[in-house]
Amino acid sequence: MAAAGQGPASAGGGRWEVVRKGRRPASGPGSRRALGEANAGRALPLAAPIATSDTIFELGFERTLKKQNKEQVPPASAPEQPHRKQHTGKSAKKPSANDASVKPGKCHSLEEALRTLDLADLQKELDKSQSVFPENPSVWVKDLASYLNYKLQAPRSDPTLSQHPHDYPYCLVSKELKNIIRTLLGRSSSVLELFFDHCIYTMLQELDKTPGESLHGYRICIQAVLLDRPKIATMNLGKYLEVLRSHQNRPAKCLTVLWALGQAGFTDLHEGLKVWLGVMLPVLGIKSLSPYAVAYLDRLLMMHPNLTKGFGMIGPKDFFPLLDFAFMPNNSLPLSLQEQLRRLYPRLKVLAFGAKPETALHTYFPSFLSRATPSCPPGMKKELLTSMSQCLSLDPLTFSVWRQLYTKHLSQSSLLLNHLLESWDSSSKKVRQSLQETVRSFKVTNEELVARGPNSDQDVAACDAACKELLRKMKGQGFPWSQLLLVLLVFAAGFLLHDVRTHGSFQASSSAHLLRSSGILPASQQAWQKVSHCCLEGYRWLERSLPVYGSQVAAVLQPQLELLWAKSGEVALYASEQCSALLSWIHDSLPWFIEWLQSRVPDSLLHFAECVRELLLFLVRSCLLPLLECVAAELERGWKHCVDSCNGEVSWDCMREHLTSFTYSSWIYLQNTTLAVKNWALAMISGH
């Protein structure tokens, strides 16, 4: 007992204590569990006499625990230590109970926990960590994550936070706390990848514990890292896929990993698709993980309506498993998820075909063709035939690929040929020309296959019948009346110009002599005279009747117009009052809105918005206002000229004279232009 009683004193003097089998040191304040255990990512061995601290935050927190234990637990006297050591065999779990007693109580919500968070204390701990470990930024960020996760104790949510917005819990963080996190992460940029891995693996270890801590602190750190560096999540996707495979019987762990990796996609569509294709598509058939994988893809495509940033990510190797999951019945997806994936399929198809489908679709055609069997489900068959038609119409190389695959896919080719036959009227001329060559080569191949033997008579017969019908449609396209009419019109115009040029005038030309002898020219002249006379009579009637009817209409409508003007003034006054009230409300709410916006928008985006605002102000001041001033000056000059030309009084007669003069000038200009074009055409014909 004496030897046992001297153990702690010798350990305190700098020497190691020899622990015998079945014995352990007394559980004093220094052996209580500190936050550094979670920060270190593993449980410290309880049998060790001295526990080394991984982070400076653990040291500071240990002092707090000692102070609390002095208030809550009376210190044991020295002679009782040997007696207590004899009865520690069955009470090894008691330190954890004391440990739980000093933890901060869980708040009712994460919002409440964030409101009660002491930012000054956090900054103090981070400054202490940076001063003690100035060359080790890994310790700084681990201290940050451990502090936040320890202080933000709130009820746990489901692993994917499906009941919250995509940026939860980071969206609840105040601007001051965000600045602290961003500043520290900026100083620790060289270790952010290791820090990201540390957060995920610590969360997985915390899920193994029965009560366990809530993981809000680690989630906030993960979102803060990926907000500025989304590529960190996609650097080791293969490693995390192995983690998912090793924990496939633990859905909570797998969903936690998927959630953490998926945060990269809400900032960058390219990285989000890389995450989905790398770790979510391989687990799409697993019952517990498929709902989150499909929901994440839906939210990702909804948040990024501009799909151009995702071009080049989905290739044939990734696209056709998605096609099978969406359209093939009786697969491992439930009907609701299959229907949801089918709604996303058109956008996935756009992503797969990319920015230049005319150069890539021939690589998709073989897989489309091999799936289009006669026993294919109707919905999938329709999609396959439509996609193959799209490949043929956009990518010319698809026809050569089809010719190479024809003999091995006769039944599929017969379906495609019949589909092209049904949609013949809607096909373009370019497709018909390329298809004509392909169908002729198919017809020669069919004759060779029939000559070899009766191995595939039914499929060959179906293909041959479709080829014959297509060739018949190609030959019977009808007479090109429109092209013939255009040629005749050009020929007649050229002959007329040459005839007029040869005889000097239209009256002396052979064309005029022919028209006079046939009676067409006198009839056309008489018809023109009648039309001119009718137009002149109509103009004179308008000249006589318009002032009279105009004055009558003005007399009838003047009271209604005055009433309408008065009502319009009242409406304008009411609208101005409402607008002024709205503007005052906006003016009062603008500071709050700006503060709220700044807390949720990155600083880089705010800087970009400020640059755009300065650019718009420059354009308004330098371009728009001078342009409006010039337009106003020109309008004022034109109105002054109009008033001066009307001798200071604008009347209907004066305006009619101006309109008549403008019409006459326009007609003369049109005649001169037409005559110049005719002379140029005659010169070109005579020159050739």
Per the CB < 8 A criterion, the answer to whether 25 and 7 are in contact is yes
Helix/strand/coil for 480: coil
Per the CB < 8 A criterion, the answer to whether 316 and 360 are in contact is no
What CA–CA distances, in Å, run from 118 to 55, 114, 121, 148, 149? 20, 9, 5, 10, 13
Q: How far apart are CA 270 and CA 307, in angstroms?
A: 9
Between 389 and 36, the more confident residue is: 389
**CA of residue 634 relative to chain centroid, distance:** 47
Predicted pLDDT of residue 528: 87
Instruction: State yes or no: pLDDT of 628 exceeds 70.
Output: yes
Structure confidence by residue, pLDDT tens digits, 203-259: 999 898 877 678 899 999 999 999 999 999 999 999 999 999 999 899 999 999 999
Between 483 and 298, the more confident residue is: 298
Predicted pLDDT of residue 45: 36
Predicted pLDDT of residue 19: 42
Per the CB < 8 A criterion, the answer to whether 154 and 110 are in contact is yes
Dump the DSSP string for 429-450.
HHHHHHHHHHHHHHHHHHHHHH
Between 70 and 322, the more confident residue is: 322
Token code pair at residue 656? 């009619």
Q: Phi and psi dihedrals of 406, rounded to 5?
A: -60, -50
Between 603 and 358, the more confident residue is: 358
Mean pLDDT of 186-192: 91
- Residue showing tokens 């495979």: 245
Mean pLDDT of 32-58: 37
Instruction: State yes or no: pLDDT of 46 exceeds 60.
Output: no
Predicted pLDDT of residue 295: 94
Instruction: State yes or no: pLDDT of 28 exceeds 60.
Output: no
Structure confidence by residue, pLDDT tens digits, 487-528: 778 877 877 777 777 877 777 778 777 777 878 878 888 888
Instruction: State yes or no: pLDDT of 455 exceeds 60.
Output: no
Predicted pLDDT of residue 552: 83
Nearest residue to 312 via CA among 282, 352, 272, 350? 352
Dump the DSSP string for 561-624.
HHHHHHHHHHHHHHHHHHHHHHHHHHHHHHHHHHHHHHHHS-HHHHHHHHHHHHHHHHHIIIII
Q: What band does 430 get if pLDDT is binned at 50, 70 and 90?
A: confident
Q: How far apart are CA 664 and CA 668, in angstroms?
A: 6
Token code pair at residue 38? 């979670």
Mean residue pLDDT across the chain: 79
**CA of residue 157 relative to chain centroid, distance:** 27
- Using N-to-C axis directions, what is the helix angle for 119-132 and 137-151, rounded to 10°? 150
Q: What band does 26 get if pLDDT is binned at 50, 70 and 90?
A: very low
Instruction: State yes or no: pLDDT of 317 exceeds 90.
Output: yes
Instruction: State yes or no: pLDDT of 478 exceeds 80.
Output: no
Predicted pLDDT of residue 600: 61
Element (H, E) at 187: helix 175-187
Instruction: State yes or no: pLDDT of 636 exceeds 60.
Output: yes
**Could you check whether the bond before residue 169 is cis, i.e. omega within 30 degrees of 0?**
yes
Mean pLDDT of 374-385: 92
Q: How far apart are CA 393 and CA 397, in angstroms?
A: 10
Question: 435-447 burial, b for 16+ CB within 10 Å, e for fewer?
Answer: beebbeebeebbe
Mean pLDDT of 338-363: 92
Q: How far apart are CA 213 and CA 146, in angstroms?
A: 11
Nearest residue to 8 via CA among 66, 61, 84, 59? 84
Token code pair at residue 580? 């002024």
Predicted pLDDT of residue 33: 34
Q: How far apart are CA 119 and CA 117, in angstroms?
A: 6
Between 494 and 631, the more confident residue is: 631
Q: How far apart are CA 505 and CA 511, in angstroms?
A: 11
Predicted pLDDT of residue 321: 93
Predicted pLDDT of residue 673: 84
* Of 165-169, 393-397, 573-577, 581-585, minimum mean pLDDT range: 581-585
Dump the DSSP string for 330-366.
SSSS-HHHHHHHHHHHHHHHHHHH-S-GGGTGGGTHH
Per the CB < 8 A criterion, the answer to whether 354 and 312 are in contact is yes
Q: How far apart are CA 55 and CA 125, in angstroms?
A: 10
Token code pair at residue 219? 């989630």
- Biggest CA pair distance of the chain: 146
Mean pLDDT of 10-20: 38
Q: Could you tell me the pTM of the whole model?
A: 0.57
Q: What band does 83 get if pLDDT is binned at 50, 70 and 90?
A: very low
Q: How far apart are CA 370 and CA 366, in angstroms?
A: 6
Instruction: State yes or no: pLDDT of 644 exceeds 90.
Output: no
Mean pLDDT of 275-284: 94
- Residue showing tokens 């489901």: 158
- Residue showing tokens 């994917």: 160
Q: How far apart are CA 185 and CA 40, in angstroms?
A: 19
The length of the chain is: 688
Contacts of 370 (CB under 8 A, 6+ apart): 409, 412
Q: What band does 389 get if pLDDT is binned at 50, 70 and 90?
A: very high
Predicted pLDDT of residue 43: 36
Predicted pLDDT of residue 176: 92
Structure confidence by residue, pLDDT tens digits, 398-424: 999 999 999 899 999 999 999 998 888
Q: Which long-range contacts (CB under 8 A, 24 or more apart) does 134-137 make?
A: 137/187, 137/188, 137/190, 137/191
Domain regions of the chain by residue span: 2-101, 481-518, 524-590, 651-688
Structure confidence by residue, pLDDT tens digits, 105-132: 567 888 888 888 899 999 999 999 999 9
Which parts of 601-687 fold into alpha helices (H)? 603-619, 625-645, 652-687
Between 292 and 673, the more confident residue is: 292
Q: How far apart are CA 599 and CA 609, in angstroms?
A: 15
Contacts of 316 (CB under 8 A, 6+ apart): 352, 363, 364, 367
Q: How far apart are CA 373 and CA 467, in angstroms?
A: 19
Q: What band does 597 get if pLDDT is binned at 50, 70 and 90?
A: low
Out of 10-19, 199-208, 457-466, the most confident range is 199-208
Token code pair at residue 192? 């952010």
Mean pLDDT of 314-324: 93
Mean pLDDT of 157-177: 89
CA dihedral 574, 576, 581, 583 (to 10 degrees): 160
- Residue showing tokens 């104790």: 153
Q: What band does 477 get if pLDDT is binned at 50, 70 and 90?
A: low
Which parts of 423-519 fold into alpha helices (H)? 429-452, 457-475, 481-503, 510-518
Predicted pLDDT of residue 91: 33
Predicted pLDDT of residue 598: 61
Predicted pLDDT of residue 501: 78
Q: What 8-state DSSP symbol labels residue 41?
A: T
